[in-house]
Structure 1
Amino acid sequence: MKTIEISDIQASTIAGMGAVPHSEGVSFRVWAPNAKAVSVVGDFNSWNKEATPLSHEENGYWSVNVPDATIGQEYKYVLFTEVTELMRNDPYARQLTNSVGNSIVHDPHFDWANDDSFQMPNWNEMVIYELHIGTFNVKGEGQIGDFYSAIERLDYLKALGINAVEIMPIAEFPGGYSWGYNPAHPFAVESEYGGPLGLKSFVKAAHEKGIAVILDVVYNHFGPTDMDLWQFDGWSENNLGGIYFYNDWRATTPWGDTRPDYGRPEVRQYIRDNALMWLEEYRLDGLRMDMIPYMRNVNADGNPDNDLAEGYSLIQWINSEIREKFPHKFTVAEDLHTLSSITDSVSNGGLGYSSQWDAQFVHPVREAIIAMHDADRNMDAIAHAITHKYNNDAFQRVIYTESHDEVANGKARVVQEIAGEGDVDNWYAKKRSILGAVLTLTSPGIPMLFQGQALLEDKWFDDTDPIDWNRLSAHKGIAKLYRDLIHLRLNKHQTTAGLSGQHAMVLHLDHELKIIVFYRFRNGGYNDNTLVIINFSQEPAHDFGIRFPQRGHWRLRFNSDWDGYDADFDNHFTSDFISVGVEDPKHLLVQVPLGAYAALIYSLEE
């Protein structure tokens, strides 16, 4: 192997990692501490391995400025070791031809037009819709959805009342079909989804509709396949991953031996840079970090012998910097261990996330609505799911009955779980799945729906099974029900401000009749005080006695049993009420008729 003479090469004076276009060419910088020499090859030098060597900087960094390189050209690094030459894609590449192809010099410029005027919804007024770009809106048989096809459905989301979408991971992964949790190139946007230009176009279009965009990112592992990061510069120990990864027992994760080395400064910087890139360059409004228990602990088992203190501190660093630079951006953790420290402030020793997915909501609520027999519905668990908080803040939790995890991996959509092998359009599946939606959209917390939920999408989530949008016309009434619930949640009619407040009190819990009544309020008073009544039984409750929390005119805002939502529903009659206290005005008894598997929402009106 020929040795490249590097002593006379001038390092780049342009800051930044990877390929950075500027007025006098393109700067290239890469970290390869074990390489003996590095060159960059590409369209600009006819892929000549020895034409463009890089200068050796401190701490294993290499750089050079290439005047002849331009935006759109393909390139790779060649790392020369004692024994071989390694062709590697740029770890910081924003764009690749595909996961096993070449890096592309990306044009960072984009016409954001009036995007600066977009405002992130307040967290207590946010309704999230989780979606998977590859299956959300597929245009033809055998095709894959992309950012541009997803844009076409933004009007549907806006009409539904959604003001934030959380998109499953979009970092370049092997092939075209994937959930996205196998990032091969963390900085590059999946080519089959439309690459970086497609993502920016999607964010811009969403913002124009008043919809925030949150991105799911994966830092608990990389890959495990199609990774140029693996043994990047030829060095490794124990036949493991080399400079970007742990090279001992700490490498092991459920997804492969590819846990990043959170203790190595350059790897910490790499992950930090990735997180900030999405917020700065793509103007994303937040990040959802996947399975952070495996960043805190090797086995996510809580055993202190397996703790990764450096992973914990890395998360604190990232969240602290986001909070300082972008106080309005939203960070959410997937950590179903229900620990207050996840959303506690970094100054208190916590991880500093804005919110976390809440297992104390999703699991008991799913169990309650999926259980075949009414007697098996645990009303105490439902009451706890409604009132649970982290650090005395209801909005430090994201609540849901469906997510990509909860409707796959041996589990299915709620309607399918209820229907079993039967038709998900049956009465039981529709009625009880709606009770889950009511709890999600009326309990304190940040509500989240999963793609297709308002269409009563069946089966389970699969990256090869796109959303069937024909179900929208088949279930227009159900879509209206979800829209009505979301509009009440967001106080669109200025009558239910309590649903966006911190406070919830369970006023009545009937274990025999399976009825729960809870009271929501923000500041209290007219058009704020809101009452939610839910019957978890298939037996209607005729003239069920409820003690309203305040005297006055309580107007019915929602009845899930209305046959306008679905012709199969019973249309059990109920109406407005005027509560009048005689002996004790704080406990005002009203007889309320309640349909089978039905929910009512009332609010106090002047």
Structure 2
Amino acid sequence: MRHNVLSALLLAGLFGCGEAALEKQQGSGQETAQVVQQLTSSTRPGMGATVYSGGTTFRTWAPLASRVFVAGDFSSWGWVELGNEFNGNFSADVAGAVKGQKYKFVTRNQWGSDAWRADPRSAWQENSTGASIIYDHGEYWWNAQQFSTPAFNDMVIYEMHVGTFHDSPGFGPGNWNSAIAKLDYLRDLGVNMVKVMPAYEFAGDFSWGYNAAFPFAPESAYGSPNDMKHFVDEAHYRGIGVIFDVVHNHYGPSDLPMWCFSGDCLGNGGEYFFTDSRKVTPWGDTRPDYGRPEVRAYIRDSMMNLLDNFRADGLRWDATKYMRTIDGSGDIPSAWQVFRSINREINANKPWKISIAEDFGGGDSITNDATSDFAGGAGFDAQWTAEFVHPLRTAAIEQNDANRNMFAVRDAITQRFSGRSHARVIYTESHDEVANGHARVPEEIWPGNAGSWAAKKRSTLVAGITFTSPGIPMMFQGQEFLEDGYFADGDPLDWGKLTPYGGIKTLYRDLIRLRRNWNNNTRGLRGGNVNVHHVNNTNKVLAYHRWDSGGGGDDVVIVANFSGTSYSSYNIGFPRAGTWYLRFNSDWNGYSSDFGNTPSANTSTNSGAKDGMAQNANFAIGPYSLLIFSQ
């Protein structure tokens, strides 16, 4: 873990109240307290540290404490006593406390013992075990004022881990500024949303981020709050929205500022956490107590902090199944209050911002409307779906053509939640799917030979299905240049793979442009309608029709060959008469020199019913290839 040496010296030397001295005072009671000032409670709004002209209002929730103090640079680390509001909060206006100064709270429990605490609502941490830092959200000047969040049916998401996205092995992880350096690349690739894995202060410098300890404070190893805002600003400047991953199914479990915050642990972690069987999660006994209004407010405020202060375009809620259940079973009704109240507020005030659940089991109830805090569904706009990723990965990884199940692929393409085509996020690679015993799709196809013909062909085939199916398509960082192995928080992306696999990157770019209807001739790929009209499970060929309103430039037909056999003249039904133009052929050798360049071409329909359609047409299609036709 990094330590700020200068800060430690200042605290220990100049103020005579460094971390060692603070630890000596912990639990020693009032007799050793350096109380330099006693203040009355504040009438100003705000929780945590809120800057005003000439000072800072400090307010913290400590319902089991008898007294609460704040100490920091502004008091030479002497204790300033906060006023008791007699509602669980303690607050005061501290003149001379200004942005950039460090501080901590001291809570005295009912037995007279004192404990030093970082601010659970800290907006800026020197590190996960260090002091909180006063921060003014109004100080950042935003540049990208005209950005508009893409419509849900136009979103193409790129999942990013800041620490590994653009970094070199050794030293610290990547950061906001190193990620900014690759935003031009993402813009040119065509993605218009990045989904950032959790980037809030966690223990240590290297992590996936799902052990967040401070849900209001950006991870210090990645940069300051202004650096995080600068990343969002630069993304918006390039037409890219930002979705932040949030974790409220558990906290930590280490370095938690809110753990036993008032000095009474209540048998587990104190007032912020469940203290009965509901405390247990797969990641520790740190599930927040959703039944407490103050904890629900804590979660809500952290979400709105991202949407408002950091101008996020959406939220992806991690493992909501482990918010609403104990271990996959055993309902926690108060979690539904969290879902419904926050999603209803977002829909009422910021309906263009997307709220996504990772649930895997709640079905339509997750994306059904929340009619009230106590009724209806959870109110999410979309959810990640196992019903897509697992059949597609299985179809790609299977070594024997005869075992590929085209009916399972069909069902993956047509599956939807709550009757809405874009209520699901679809992908073949995500942080979970390329770790935890799994690897990247090309690596799974041929372990140790992810650059092989078979790995390239079959991984790009299922990528083609992803970008042409109803839903919001997502890719994981490096997928577009055949990153191999598995994801690890200390293993940066190998950008050198862009040299040998630049053609694969171009393939992804072309798919993204077609998905987003860049040339105004594939509008149906953004539409909500799909008909898988041709399923040949013997020869492993599948075709489907996508459309929005229908007609020229709208109707799209996709053909996918999941076999190693090339067909010189394959016949399927088409929805409209006339010439159908080939917009994409994944077998083009411009994507990879070892691709077959099967002479697929434009085709004209013949009269005669086929596959439930009035027209039919012939075309060539290569092995493990995907074709896209439109008029």
In the superposition, the TM-score normalised over structure 1's length comes to 0.96
1:298 is matched with which residue? 326
Structure 1 residue 265: deviation in Å? 1.2
1:509 is matched with which residue? 535
1:358 and 2:374 aligned? no
Structure 1 residue 542: deviation in Å? 2.5
For structure 1, which segment, 335-344 or 68-77, has the greater mean C-alpha deviation from structure 2 after superposition?
335-344
1:392 and 2:416 aligned? no
**Structure 1 residues 464 and 140, CA, compared in 2 at 3 Å: closer, same or farther?**
closer
1:331 is matched with which residue? 355
d(CA) in 2 for partners of 1:351 and 1:116?
32
1:457 and 2:483 aligned? yes
d(CA) in 2 for partners of 1:583 and 1:465?
54
Structure 1 residue 583: deviation in Å? 7.2
1:230 and 2:259 aligned? yes
d(CA) in 1 for partners of 2:613 and 2:443?
43
Q: Which amino acid aligns with 2:61?
A: W
- CA offsets per residue over residues 59-90 of structure 1, 9 Å max, x none? 22101111121110000011122242100001
1:496 and 2:525 aligned? no
- CA offsets per residue over residues 340-383 of structure 1, 9 Å max, x none? 11111002700000100011111111111111111111111100
1:519 and 2:549 aligned? no
Q: How does 1:494-573 map to 2 (within 5 A)?
A: 494-573=520-599
> Does the 8 Å contact 1:6/1:56 carry over to 2?
no
Q: Which amino acid aligns with 1:452?
A: G
SS in 2 for 1:191: coil
d(CA) in 1 for partners of 2:208 and 2:384?
18
1:243 is matched with which residue? 271
> Does the 8 Å contact 1:408/1:461 carry over to 2?
yes
Structure 1 residue 186: deviation in Å? 1.4
For structure 1, which segment, 583-592 or 355-364, has the greater mean C-alpha deviation from structure 2 after superposition?
583-592
2:239 is matched with which residue? 210
Q: Which amino acid aligns with 1:445?
A: G
1:18 is matched with which residue? 48
For structure 1, which segment, 589-598 or 259-268, has the greater mean C-alpha deviation from structure 2 after superposition?
589-598
2:85 is matched with which residue? 57
> Does the 8 Å contact 2:169/2:492 carry over to 1?
no
Q: How does 1:74-153 map to 2 (within 5 A)?
A: 74-81=102-109, 82-139=111-168, 141-153=170-182
> Does the 8 Å contact 2:428/2:463 carry over to 1?
yes
d(CA) in 1 for partners of 2:37 and 2:522?
71
> Does the 8 Å contact 2:426/2:471 carry over to 1?
yes
- CA offsets per residue over residues 411-469 of structure 1, 9 Å max, x none? 0000100012x311000000000011101100010000000000100000100000000
Q: Which amino acid aligns with 2:127?
A: N
1:381 is matched with which residue? 408
Structure 1 residue 582: deviation in Å? 5.3
> Does the 8 Å contact 1:6/1:55 carry over to 2?
no
1:285 is matched with which residue? 313
d(CA) in 1 for partners of 2:565 and 2:189?
31
1:221 is matched with which residue? 250
SS in 2 for 1:591: strand
1:48 is matched with which residue? 78
> Does the 8 Å contact 1:112/1:204 carry over to 2?
no
Question: Of 329, 340, 346, which residue of structure 1 is paired with 2:370?
Answer: 346
Q: Which amino acid aligns with 1:297?
A: T
> Does the 8 Å contact 1:130/1:451 carry over to 2?
yes
Structure 1 residue 473: deviation in Å? 1.8
Structure 1 residue 140: deviation in Å? 5.6
1:39 is matched with which residue? 69
1:440 is matched with which residue? 466
**Structure 1 residues 260 and 69, CA, compared in 2 at 3 Å: closer, same or farther?**
same
> Does the 8 Å contact 2:321/2:362 carry over to 1?
no
**Structure 1 residues 292 and 582, CA, compared in 2 at 3 Å: closer, same or farther?**
closer
> Does the 8 Å contact 1:21/1:71 carry over to 2?
yes
2:430 is matched with which residue? 403
Structure 1 residue 113: deviation in Å? 3.8
Q: Which amino acid aligns with 2:59?
A: R
**Structure 1 residues 65 and 508, CA, compared in 2 at 3 Å: closer, same or farther?**
same
- CA offsets per residue over residues 302-345 of structure 1, 9 Å max, x none? xxxx2100011111111111111211110000011150111110
d(CA) in 2 for partners of 1:236 and 1:589?
71
> Does the 8 Å contact 1:497/1:528 carry over to 2?
yes
Structure 1 residue 237: deviation in Å? 2.6
d(CA) in 2 for partners of 1:482 and 1:536?
19
Structure 1 residue 472: deviation in Å? 1.1
Structure 1 residue 142: deviation in Å? 3.1
d(CA) in 2 for partners of 1:184 and 1:534?
45
d(CA) in 1 for partners of 2:444 and 2:437?
11
SS in 2 for 1:600: strand
Structure 1 residue 489: deviation in Å? 0.4
Structure 1 residue 35: deviation in Å? 1.4
**Structure 1 residues 586 and 140, CA, compared in 2 at 3 Å: closer, same or farther?**
closer
Q: Which amino acid aligns with 1:349?
A: G
Q: Which amino acid aligns with 1:235?
A: D
**Structure 1 residues 227 and 113, CA, compared in 2 at 3 Å: closer, same or farther?**
closer
1:472 and 2:502 aligned? no
- CA offsets per residue over residues 21-48 of structure 1, 9 Å max, x none? 1113111001111212111100111111
1:310 and 2:327 aligned? no
- CA offsets per residue over residues 496-540 of structure 1, 9 Å max, x none? 001100011012110110000101111100011111000000111
Give the number of equivalent residue pairs.
596
d(CA) in 1 for partners of 2:616 and 2:97?
78
SS in 1 for 2:138: coil
d(CA) in 1 for partners of 2:169 and 2:624?
38
- CA offsets per residue over residues 92-113 of structure 1, 9 Å max, x none? 1100100000000012124444
Residue identity (%): 46
Q: Which amino acid aligns with 1:314?
A: V
Structure 1 residue 580: deviation in Å? 3.0
d(CA) in 2 for partners of 1:34 and 1:325?
35
SS in 1 for 2:484: coil
d(CA) in 2 for partners of 1:2 and 1:258?
30
d(CA) in 1 for partners of 2:492 and 2:386?
27
> Does the 8 Å contact 1:183/1:223 carry over to 2?
yes
SS in 1 for 2:216: strand
d(CA) in 1 for partners of 2:350 and 2:520?
30
Q: Aligned Cα RMSD in Å?
A: 1.6
d(CA) in 2 for partners of 1:465 and 1:398?
26
d(CA) in 1 for partners of 2:504 and 2:208?
27
2:282 is matched with which residue? 254
> Does the 8 Å contact 1:7/1:55 carry over to 2?
no
d(CA) in 2 for partners of 1:410 and 1:13?
53
1:189 is matched with which residue? 218
> Does the 8 Å contact 1:338/1:358 carry over to 2?
no
d(CA) in 1 for partners of 2:119 and 2:101?
13
d(CA) in 2 for partners of 1:124 and 1:95?
35
SS in 1 for 2:593: coil
Q: Which amino acid aligns with 1:184?
A: A
d(CA) in 1 for partners of 2:139 and 2:495?
32
2:291 is matched with which residue? 263
d(CA) in 2 for partners of 1:434 and 1:237?
53
d(CA) in 2 for partners of 1:16 and 1:282?
17
d(CA) in 1 for partners of 2:172 and 2:66?
45
Structure 1 residue 589: deviation in Å? 2.4
